[in-house]
Amino acid sequence: MKISFTINGTQQTVEVVDGNTPLLWVVRDVLDLKGTKFGCGKAACGACTLHVDGEAVRSCSYAVKFAEGKTITTIEGLGTKENPHPVQQAWIDEVVPQCGYCQPGFMMATAALLDKNPNPTDEDIDNNIINVCRCGTYYRMRKAIHKAAELHALQEDSEIQNS
């Protein structure tokens, strides 16, 4: 079957044998976007988190057929070195990653949280950021999430001033 969606700003149509194929594998193996990771395949770790219509989704457990007509963002589309997303900038400022494998999933989960809740409290962070990091980078991530909220606010301020 053919499925069409927008991913990182580009319209794509993919041909899949089985519409129940997890979106993760279409993103990684068909579209060759390797930033979205496989950790468990059971929606239990969050390594595969990406955005579907702005919501954080665990793509290992999201059938590609449901992506029809939707807008998807992966870590590759979140920001670039030239124009980093506030979350990525904060992650760099706080030197968060260790092995790095879980990090795209956490950044995507954080970006989705900040969209809804631009200034999350520690409790909001605890309740919403529930991915697993084996290297134990949570301490720096929490700092980076608060920092990203600040950067996000600054960015909005300057956008308002510029308009």
Partner 1 sequence: MAEKKKISRRKFLVRGGLGTAGVLAVGAYVFRNPIRRGILEMANTMEMAYMGETKNPMVWFEILKDNTVLLHSPKVEMGQGSFTSFAQMAADELEIPMAMLKVVHAATSTGNIDGMSTGGSTSVPGLWQPLRELAATMREMIRTEAATKLGVTTDAIAMGGGVVSANDKSMTYAEVAEGVTEWPDIETPVLKPVSEYKFVGKPIPRIDLEDKVYGAPLFGMDAEMEDMVYGAVVRPEKIGAKFLNADTQQAESMPGVIKVVKEDDFVGVVAATYQQAENAKNAIIVTWEAPNNLQQEDLEKIMTVGNGKTTIIQKEGGALDDDDSEIMEFRSPIGAHAQIEPNGVLASVEGDMATVKISTQVVGITRKEVAERLGFEEEKVNVIPTYLGGGFGRRLHTPHAVQAAVLSKAVGKPVKYFFSRKEEFQHDMFRPPTHHVMKGKLNTSGSLEGLEHHFVSGDVGNNSALVPSFAPTILGADVGAIRGGFIQYTGVPNYRSVYWHVQLPFATSWWRSLGLLANTFAIESFIDHMAHKADKNAAEFRLENIANDPLSVRLKATISAAVEKANYTETIVNGRAMGLAASIDAATPCAQVAEVSIENNQIKVHKVTVALDPGLAVNPDQVKAQCEGCVIMGISASLHEEMYVENGELRPIIYGPYDMALMKHSPKEIDVVLLQGKDTPGAVGEPPLGPIGAAVANAIFRLTGQRLTKLPLKLS
Question: Which residues contact partner 1 by CB under 8 A?
Answer: 17-18, 21, 25, 29, 32-42, 44-45, 47, 74-76, 79-81, 84, 88, 91-92, 95-104, 107, 122, 125-127, 129-142
The pair of structure tokens assigned to 91 is: 């992650």
Binding mask 53-92 for ligand FES (x = CB under 6 A): -----x-x--------------------------------
What is the smallest separation between the CB atom of 103 and partner 1, expressed in angstroms? 6
The string over 95-134, giving b where at least 16 C-beta atoms fall within 10 Å of a residue's C-beta and e elsewhere, is ebbeeeebbbbbbbbbbbbbeeeeebeeeebeebbebebe
Binding mask 120-149 for ligand FES (x = CB under 6 A): -------------xxx-x------------
Burial class (CB in 10 A: 0-12, 13-18, 19+), 149: buried
163: helix, coil or strand? Answer: coil
Which CB atom, from 119 or from 127, has the smaller least distance to partner 1?
127
Binding mask 88-107 for ligand FES (x = CB under 6 A): ---------xxxxxxx----
Q: Which of residues 16-55 bind ligand FES (CB under 6 A)?
A: 38-41, 43-48
What is the smallest separation between the CB atom of 147 and partner 1, expressed in angstroms? 13
Separation between Cα atoms, residue 151 and residue 35, nearest integer Å? 23
Residue type, 100: G
How far does CA 69 lie from the centroid of its chain?
A: 19
- β-bridge partners, 14: 3
Residues forming the site for ligand FES (CB under 6 A) = 38-41, 43-48, 58, 60, 97-103, 133-135, 137
